[in-house]
Every structure is written in structure tokens, then in C-alpha cells.
A = this chain, B = another copy of it.
């Protein structure tokens, strides 16, 4: 078979293992763009209750045996299959494996009266690159289809030991570098709020590093990008392996901050550094979560980076930041401005690092499949692109020089952060930076430029933890005259219904504090609604 046929074949059999009654034959017309409410029309009241529960409630119902793991897994499957039909979000669906694991958990609870772990019975979806023994892990490469993983990723072992039930794998793009939606394996993933929009980027190569925040931002869910080397990556497939300077990380997406915290704290409780030596040996710190480095959280000073000096965000994004500022001031915190610093240099640096070997990496991994159009193949003079289509001549020594640039940028930012103590009035430097996750709300399929992920990517190079918080949704109006005049090119109609988010950024390895400060921001925002 040609690689095109292999891809089509894979797609054709995707729902083969799914019980027929979970598959809807009465789908909305493709002209219907906002399908976020659609699954409700198919699901039972119990399925809806289960799948719309917040994580702590779900966990507690499971632990008390009020809902069985099999019931919960089944409800989530039903909703996921409809979502798949509507938006093409899944790659692998393994009903037998998941239900059999759920049954084991139910039996364990019945027999022992205790849960297996803090995630007992919680269905969890995994990005396709996270390996499950016996199931395909592709990087969006057709040539990796039909080569099932020989063993679990460390993260899968840990999640299962915590009691979680992996039940589907979610779509990723070719090379992982375009954030979850465009690959030669047919059909891009659509945004459930507006199916003419993307679910996660299509941003010409920046996807992998921003691959938690961009989908969070575009789909309007909480998403946490920890510092590198805190959540175990061992045993996952990846692109650009051996490129160790600016690495992609794994992190949770959830419908609540509780879910984010539970994932992160639970994974650390299993001492992942014992199984993956790249993980930093650092336990969850309740002290840091209680903000000992931030005046115990009494009055915080946030700095808002309204733009990055390169891209002016669209009006709804600015509105999200304004709403956040107002909410934080109303809650008694301080808010100052953060001046963007060398954002273009930062982008050039990580792109130089990636492009130093991306062409050879792509050729070896994907041949005969070509680099697909949407991977960033803009006109040659377009700056700041991930270009696996262009041969690199960089030597190892040259790469060292770029690494030095990166180190110097990190050092400059550390100094900027320390120096901000003179502006906060709290006696401390800025507690966290708040900024857009992307300069736009979810863009249409195929919009392809390097700017989408640029703001978020800067924090990858700096290796800052960052948490995306949903704030609002795009509607068809301008909120100020300034918006109207200044952003004439912007068309709110295109982005209608798309979520608006902000991200909260802390310093390297400060995950606990970022979670705690995000809770403060989230609470302040909710108090104003």
C-alpha cells in the first residue's frame, strides 16, 4: 500500500471496536458550527451528569462506589465518540482494554473497600505520542502506523498505578510541531465551539512546545505547562529527539484547576524520577503551594504583558486581560505592566535550535511521506518558521553558540524579574506574569503563521511554568472605540464563540506557586461574573 492508502485505511477502521449504540447516525449538518451543546442531545441524564462533573466530585463519587468505574468510563466513552464524530479529535480508541481495567478497579474497591489511588476510576485521554503497550503511537507520521508500542510510557504506568483509566488517545499533527490537528492521517481536528476554527494551532511549527496551552486556549479549558523535566516523558515517542535545549513537556488539560492540581500532585507522589532519570527529584511542596515565596498570597502583584512587542493581540484577547486586571484589583491585588523584552530574539533562538536538525530528523522519521503543506511552508522570506523542509548546515559548535544565546536570555530574564522589586510595592519582585496564550482566539483551519504560538513559546525557551485560564468567549462586538479603530483588520465574526483565555506565568520549577496563584486569579475572575 502507498502511504496515502495506509492513512485512509487507518481512518476507515477507527470506530470498528466501538459498540454501535455509541455511534450517532443523526449528526448535525456540517454548516452547524457551534456543536458544544450537541452531545447532550444524545446522552442520558446520568451520562451528562457524570461527564460534566468537576474532577473532585467525580473522584469522590467513584471512591464512595456511588458510580462504578465501568459506568463512568462508559459515559465518557459515549461523549468522546460523539465528540470524535463532530470534531475528529481522537486517534486510538480501545474500549475493551479500558473497560476491563475499569472492572478491575470496581472489583478492587468492592473487595478491599479502598481505592487504588487518588485517581481511582478517572477516565483520562492521552495525547497520541504517549505510548500504551500494544497500541499505535504515531507522531502524525503515516509510516509509524501499525507499529504498536512495546511497552507503556512511564506516565501511563504512573497514571494506572494512581487508579486512572486511559480510554482514548487524541490527535496530534505531523511531527507534533503543528499542535494536534494537521497530519496526513485524514481530517484535521475542529474546534467544538466553532467547527470552522482549529482546536489547537496550525501554527506553522510551534505546536509541540505550546501544545498544552494552545489547545487549552482555543478550546477554552484549563491547561498547565510545567517546567521541563517534572512530568515523565520517558517511553513516549517524539520528534527532534536529542534536541535537549528547548524540549516539549507533558502537562494536564482539565475543566477545572482542581483537575490540574490533582493530576500534577498525584503524578509527583509516585516519585517519577525513580523511573525517568530526566525528571527532577522534587516532591510536591505544600509550602510552595501555600505561597511562602509570595508573602503567603495575601496581596500579590501581577504584571500584565499586554503584547510581546511583536504582535498586537486581537480585541477579544485584550478584553480577557482587562477583565482579569479588573477582577484582580477588585480582589485587592496589585496589577502593573510587564514590558516585553527581546521576544523576537527569543523566537529566533528556539527556531535556530530546532531547525539545526529538523530536516534530517523529519526525513528519517517520516519518509516517504512529505512535509505537509500546513507545517509552515509559507513563502521563503517569511521569518520565524519551523522549516523541516529546508536542509540545515549547522555544526555542533554552532549549535553550542545558540545554546549560549538561550542561556544569556534566561539570565537576562532572571535579572529583569529580580529588578521588578522596585515597581511592585510589595517588597517582592512581581509574583507572576499574566499574558495572552495566543494573540488570537482560535483561528480558522489552515491559518498558518508563526505568530499564533509566539507569546507562549517564549516561556518555553525561558522554561517558565504557565497555566491557561479561560476567561470569556468571542462575541460579535467591539468593546471600545479604540478596538474598532485600532484593529480594523480584525473580524470578530470569524472567531465567533471562540474562547478567550489568559495565562499565568511563574518562574522555573515554581509549579506549585503557579497553581496557587492561578486559583487566586480564577477565583477573582469568577467573583466578577
Q: Which A residues have a C-beta under 8 Å from some C-beta of B? A: 234, 240-245, 273-278, 280-282, 356-357, 360-361, 392-404, 407, 410-411, 413-414, 417-418, 462-463, 507-510
Contact = CB atoms under 8 A, between A and B. Distances in A.
A500 B512 CA distance: 45
17 contacts: A241-B407, A244-B244, A274-B417, A274-B507, A276-B411, A277-B411, A278-B410, A280-B282, A280-B509, A281-B282, A281-B507, A281-B510, A282-B282, A282-B509, A360-B397, A394-B395, A395-B396
Contacts of A407: 241-242, 244, 278
A399 B275 CA distance: 25
Contacts of A396: 356-357, 392, 394-396, 398-399
B402 A242 contact: yes
A401 B281 CA distance: 26
A403 B410 CA distance: 22
Contact of A414 (B277, B397, B509): B277
A462 B240 CA distance: 21
Contacts of A463: 277
A416 to B, nearest CB: 11
A404 B276 contact: no
A70 B513 CA distance: 43
Nearest to A506: B281
A103 B104 CA distance: 71
Nearest to A271: B293
Contact of A277 (B274, B276, B282, B413): B413
Contacts of A399: 242, 357, 396, 399
B277 A404 contact: no
Contacts of A277: 410-411, 413-414, 462-463, 507-508
A274 B418 contact: yes
A274 B282 CA distance: 17
A341 to B, nearest CB: 14
A88 to B, nearest CB: 32
Contacts of A278: 407, 410
Given A275-B418, A414-B276, A508 B281 contact: yes
Given A277-B462, A281-B509, A508-B281, A242 B414 contact: no
A392 B398 CA distance: 12
A241 B273 contact: no
Contacts of A510: 281
Contact of A244 (B245, B397, B411, B462): B245
B282 A243 contact: no
Given A275-B414, A414-B277, A400 B509 contact: no
Contacts of A282: 280-282, 509
Contacts of A240: 400
A11 B416 CA distance: 40
A360 B371 CA distance: 34
A265 B404 CA distance: 29
A140 to B, nearest CB: 20
A510 B402 CA distance: 30
Nearest to A399: B396
Contacts of A395: 357, 360, 392-396
Nearest to A288: B281
Residue among A242, A273, A278, A396 facing the most chain B CB atoms (10 A cut-off)? A396
Contacts of A413: 277
Given A244-B244, A273-B509, A396-B398, 11 more contacts: A241-B400, A242-B400, A273-B508, A275-B414, A278-B410, A281-B508, A282-B509, A356-B396, A361-B397, A395-B396, A396-B399
Contacts of A234: 411
A252 to B, nearest CB: 20
A350 B138 CA distance: 31
A411 B400 CA distance: 24
A400 B357 contact: yes
B242 A401 contact: yes
Contacts of A393: 395
Contacts of A360: 395, 397
A129 to B, nearest CB: 16
Contacts of A243: 400, 403
A360 B397 CA distance: 7
Nearest to A358: B397
A361 to B, nearest CB: 7
A273 B240 CA distance: 28
Nearest to A242: B400
Contacts of A241: 400, 404, 407
Contacts of A508: 273, 277, 281
